[in-house]
Amino acid sequence: MRNIVITPLAPIRISVEAEILSPDIFAPLSMEQICGLDVWQGNRKKKISDLFRVVGDEGPAKPEETALRLEGDFSRVKRIAEGMTAGTVDVTGSVGMHAGNNMLGGKLSILGNADDWLGREMRGGSIIVEGNAGNYAGAGYRGERCGMRGGEIEIRGNAGAYLGEHLCGGNIRVAGDAGDFPGAANQGGTIFIGGSCHLPGAEMTKGTIIVNGKAKVLPGYQKLEIVTIGGEKYQKYAGDLVENGKGELFIQAGSS
Amino acid sequence: MIIRGGIVYDPANGIFGEEMDLCIDGGRIVEDAKGEVIDARGLLVMPGGVDAHSHIAGKKMNTGRIMRPDDSRLGTEPRSGVCRPSTGYTVPNCYAMGYRYARMGYTTAFEAATPIIEARHTHEELEEIPILDKGALTLFGNNWEVMECVHDKDIAKLAAYVAWGLRAARGYGIKIVNPGGGEAWGFGSNVKGLYDPVPNFDVTPAEIIHALAEANEMLRLPHSIHLHFNNLGKPGNYTTALETLEALKDIKPSRMRQAVHVTHMQFSAYGGTSWRDFESKAPVIADYINRHNHATMDMGQLLFGAATTMTADAPLEYGNARLTHNKWSNHDIELEESSGVVPMVYSRKMLVNAVQWAIGLELALLTEDPWKVLMTTDSPNGSPFVNYPEVIALLMSKPKRDSEMATLHAELSKRTSLGGIERELDWSEIAIMTRAAPARILGLEDKGHLGFGADGDVSIYNLLPEEVDASKEHATVKKALATAKYTIKSGIVVCKDGKIIATPRGKTYWVDAAAAQADMDRLMVDLQEKFERYYSVQMSNYAVQDVYVTNPKVIKAGIGAEPLKEVA
Ligand SMILES: [Zn+2]
């Protein structure tokens, strides 16, 4: 395994666009080449070494043999692990917006929190967040008809609004609560919410949403039977009938 | 400037691939010049490309941009050199329109549809499109004043209104879209055919089209009426196409040109009774065009992939939205039009889309005279204009068409005649369909050719026409056309090796047509009442002011005007 550790030289106040923080970009390069990569901070182009200390094993290596460790606070660093296909990225702190965008494979682990658009339009691989995630985790970006299409997102804390909007495939699991409109306009995939949420599955045409806590259900949903999943009893609904949808919604029985 | 040794295709002047030098001075083609020498030895040289039908500016385009932030992401290019940032693919920003046309060797493009009341917006965007010369056609086919004049059979007053409307819109010519249908759409319906009366106006689409064609010729406008048929986009609509063409046979053009230009014929050459038995009727349409001389058309070629449909044919867009479950914008434009926008993806796997793809090509290949059929994609309805090189490569190569067809639905060969067409267009025919003919059809006498006095717009491609076999080497052809070696606009090199190096400001053409004062006086009585009773703006604020058209090229026409000089 080729290990590379990246640490901010000073607290980052102005946002950095760092789509290069990915095993795919680092793997084929020498340490010197990596330190020479460009990043944008605000409207200024900088070298990665102007903002971060980058140390690690000399390359090249394959992406699947490359492990990035991001130590410290990356909450103002955007697009970490964008489009990664293999390898691992471990973050000890929090990450900024658009982490794991368009991810295809590999594993992104975040010990802190993730900002908005975590794993948006991802197609494969896995993301684990120990803390909370912002809005639009696993969603499609503005105007897209398809959000996440494959892979896994696990959020051990809470998620914000529009979790998995336009989801077309893959799995999202939130241990805590989700905000408003999880699974809006879904066309596939599965969302599990351990806690409560508000108005799940608006305009869902296909896919599955399971809510372990409380949820207000939209009037476009038809109440069906009580079912048992993993020993727990759930009220099953079908919808969203506004869109002639074939989606399935399960809410913990007796909770709503 | 001297362009040395190119293999020149200038069909309007009878030059079909001759090695010759070209001289440009003062922005025009001249006999002799000094200065910069451009080495074009052996390379393909043509007049700058002219697009007679494209959606490049105005409210529909902007609605498309607003609806499609996803599209914006598909074409981002950062600021570099003289270029401002570009965004978008099917609905690019204004700058990208200019850069991308110029990169392909195009120097002129006409916006296809603007209601008078929205013309100010169109010009604001045209002003921001760099490099290109441009113009905008003005919508008249669903206008209340037009329909009232038609009802009263008052062609003189109608001509006065067209003249007034073109001046108010700073417009170039008469565009007619699903005449009557846009008005019917205000009541949730459509006109079903040429003789179906428009609600509340007691006129038929046939009467609207014919009267506007008469007014067009009464005003001696440089362009003919520019017509989007009724029933467009529906299976079996080829009969409407033929009926409409027949109904215009008696129109006598006031100039040496067609009496009607039919736009995006691909969408009107459909057979079958539903999408299930949908088939091509392109051979029937092409046969009609071959046997008659009053009509020209453009292809409206459809290509697989992303598109954004945008048209004043609002009921059509309602159908598109219902069919695709996609986003839909619907718009009612006061007394003038309705319109709609719907994003679209044309799929290779869909038989219907494959048949549509074949129909455009059949139309171009079965029409014997290339002067009668223009290469367009009705950008961005059939495909964005950046894909013109793909269309040209298909027209020039039977093997390319065959290999494409092999990837499409097995049923396709039963639904179209494309597989049996051997014809491969040559560079002369391509130069006609993309340069000479669009200029002639629009009535642009300084465009589309390289005779002395013509605009100094030239495209030079990195391709040796005497050595490259376009049939076999279609990939080379496509690549060369996508990135011109040189694009020269009014004598300035704007693009070199596919890179934009200068962004001069282009002209905006509009037509100032004179009408008889007595008719204008009668018209004003009508218009004053309409503005008082119905319009959301006052008449004094309605017309596009000159400040919105800072580099105009005004073509004089109308009653009593000097007869226009004929184009080459
Ligand atoms: Zn059009």
In A, minimum Cα distance to B70 occurs at A143
The low-confidence residues of chain A, meaning pLDDT below 50, are none
Is position A127 within any domain?
no
In B, minimum Cα distance to A140 occurs at B70
- Compute the distance between CA of residue B147 and CA of residue B212 in angstroms, rounded to an integer: 10
pLDDT at residue number B561: 58
| Domain match, A108 and A21 both | yes
Is position A130 within any domain?
no
| Domain match, A182 and A141 both | yes
Reduced 3-state DSSP string for B231-260: CCCCCCCHHHHHHHHHHCCCCCCCCCCCCE
| Domain match, A159 and A241 both | yes
Write B412-417 long-range contacts (CB < 8 A, 24+): B412/B351, B412/B354, B412/B355, B412/B358, B414/B279, B415/B278, B415/B279, B415/B280, B415/B351, B415/B355, B415/B358, B416/B279, B416/B280, B416/B282, B416/B355, B416/B358, B416/B359, B416/B362, B417/B280, B417/B282, B417/B283, B417/B362, B417/B366
How many Cβ contacts (< 8 angstroms) between chains A and B?
Answer: 15
In A, minimum Cα distance to B326 occurs at A145
pLDDT at residue number B100: 98
Token duo for residue A104: 């295809």
The tally of CA atoms less than 13 A away on the side-chain side of residue A172 is: 42
Is position A126 within any domain?
no
The answer for residues whose C-beta is within 8 angstroms of residue B234's C-beta and 6 or more apart is: B270
Is position A75 within any domain?
yes
Ligand 1 centroid from CA A166, angstroms: 31
Write B269-276 long-range contacts (CB < 8 A, 24+): B269/B237, B269/B238, B269/B241, B269/B359, B269/B362, B269/B363, B270/B233, B270/B234, B270/B235, B270/B236, B270/B237, B270/B238, B270/B359, B271/B235, B271/B236, B271/B238, B272/B235, B272/B236, B273/B235, B273/B236, B274/B235, B275/B235, B275/B352
pLDDT at residue number B325: 87
The CA distance from B79 to the nearest CA of chain A, in Å, is 13
Chain A, window 138-157: residues with a beta carbon less than 8 angstroms from a chain B beta carbon:
140-145
| Domain match, A185 and A94 both | no
The CA distance from B114 to the nearest CA of chain A, in Å, is 26
| Domain match, A70 and A141 both | no
Our count of domains for chain A comes to 2
**ipTM, two decimals:** 0.84
A13 touches B: beta carbon within 8 Å:
no
In B, minimum Cα distance to A147 occurs at B70
pLDDT at residue number B564: 46
- Compute the distance between CA of residue B483 and CA of residue B499 in angstroms, rounded to an integer: 8
Which residues of chain A are within 8 Å of residue B67 when distances are taken between CB atoms?
A: 143
Q: State how far the alpha carbon of B159 is from the alpha carbons of B150, B163, B171, B555, B561, in Å.
A: 11, 6, 14, 17, 14
| Domain match, A229 and A177 both | yes
Report the b/e string of B87-108 with b at 16+ CB within 10 A. Answer: bbbbbbbbbbbbbbbbbbbbbb
Angle at B49 between CA B45 and CA B52, to 5 degrees: 155
Is position A211 within any domain?
yes
Ligand 1 centroid from CA B403, angstroms: 29
pTM of the model as a whole: 0.93
Are B67 and A143 an interchain contact pair (Cβ–Cβ within 8 Å)? yes
Are A143 and B70 an interchain contact pair (Cβ–Cβ within 8 Å)? yes
| Domain match, A3 and A108 both | yes
Are A144 and B68 an interchain contact pair (Cβ–Cβ within 8 Å)? no
Are A143 and B69 an interchain contact pair (Cβ–Cβ within 8 Å)? yes
Chain B, window 43-72: residues with a beta carbon less than 8 angstroms from a chain A beta carbon:
67-72
Tell me which of A64, A86, A115 is where a domain ends.
A115
Are A141 and B67 an interchain contact pair (Cβ–Cβ within 8 Å)? no
Q: What is the pLDDT of residues B334-381, one digit of tens each?
A: 999 999 999 999 999 999 999 999 999 999 999 999 999 999 999 999
Is position A7 within any domain?
yes
Chain B, window 323-362: residues with a beta carbon less than 8 angstroms from a chain A beta carbon:
326
| Domain match, A90 and A153 both | no
| Domain match, A106 and A179 both | no
- Compute the distance between CA of residue B320 and CA of residue B316 in angstroms, rounded to an integer: 6
pLDDT at residue number B559: 79
Are B69 and A145 an interchain contact pair (Cβ–Cβ within 8 Å)? no
Ligand 1 centroid from CA B484, angstroms: 25
Is position A122 within any domain?
no
pLDDT at residue number A230: 86
The low-confidence residues of chain B, meaning pLDDT below 70, are 560-568
Q: What is the pLDDT of residues A160-169, one digit of tens each?
A: 999 999 999 9
- Compute the distance between CA of residue B398 and CA of residue B352 in angstroms, rounded to an integer: 22
Is position A64 within any domain?
yes
| Domain match, A11 and A109 both | yes
Which residues of chain A are within 8 Å of residue B326 when distances are taken between CB atoms?
A: 145
- A-interface mutation test, from B63, B70, B72, B73, most A Cβ less than 10 A away: B70
The CA distance from B119 to the nearest CA of chain A, in Å, is 27
Q: Are B496 and B33 in contact (CB under 8 A)?
A: no
| Domain match, A84 and A195 both | no
In A, minimum Cα distance to B345 occurs at A145
| Domain match, A143 and A235 both | yes
The whole domain housing A5 covers 1-115
Are B326 and A142 an interchain contact pair (Cβ–Cβ within 8 Å)? no
At residue A133, what is the residue type? A
Q: Which helix (DSSP H) or strand (DSSP E) does residue B47 occupy? A: strand B44-47
Tell me which of A86, A115, A144 is where a domain ends.
A115
Which residue, A112, A77, A84, is CA-closest to A98?
A77
Tell me which of A61, A83, A115 is where a domain ends.
A115
The answer for residues whose C-beta is within 8 angstroms of residue B275's C-beta and 6 or more apart is: B235, B352
The CA distance from B385 to the nearest CA of chain A, in Å, is 22
